[in-house]
Amino acid sequence: MDYHRKWAEMGLEVLNDLLDGQQFLVGTAPTIADIAVFGVVAHMAEARFDITAWPHVKAWWDRIAALPGFRLPYDLLPRMDKDAD
């Protein structure tokens, strides 16, 4: 677990550096790159990462979350147990 956490933190550092001074990964509008990367970053809380440790990632997250139609991955997936008694 520690091994993978270290690699994840290194990846978040790279992402944080890439987003420094950028609104989105490629320019000033979201692209498929943002969607693809967000699909991974969206699970930070599950992995017990505190997004505030990477301020540029946090600001980017907020911009993504403000897009029209935004939903977190689990909100988009049907849940078999959602209506189960």
Per-residue pLDDT reduced to its tens digit, 38-52: 989 998 888 899 999
Structural domains of the chain, ranges and CATH numbers in brackets: 2-76 (1.20.1050.10)
pTM of the model: 0.84
Supply the pLDDT for residue 84: 55
- What are the φ and ψ backbone dihedral angles of 24, each rounded to 5 degrees? -135, 175
Q: How confident is the prediction for the chain on average, in pLDDT?
A: 90
Higher pLDDT, 74 or 55: 55
Confidence at residue 34, expressed as pLDDT on a 0 to 100 scale: 97
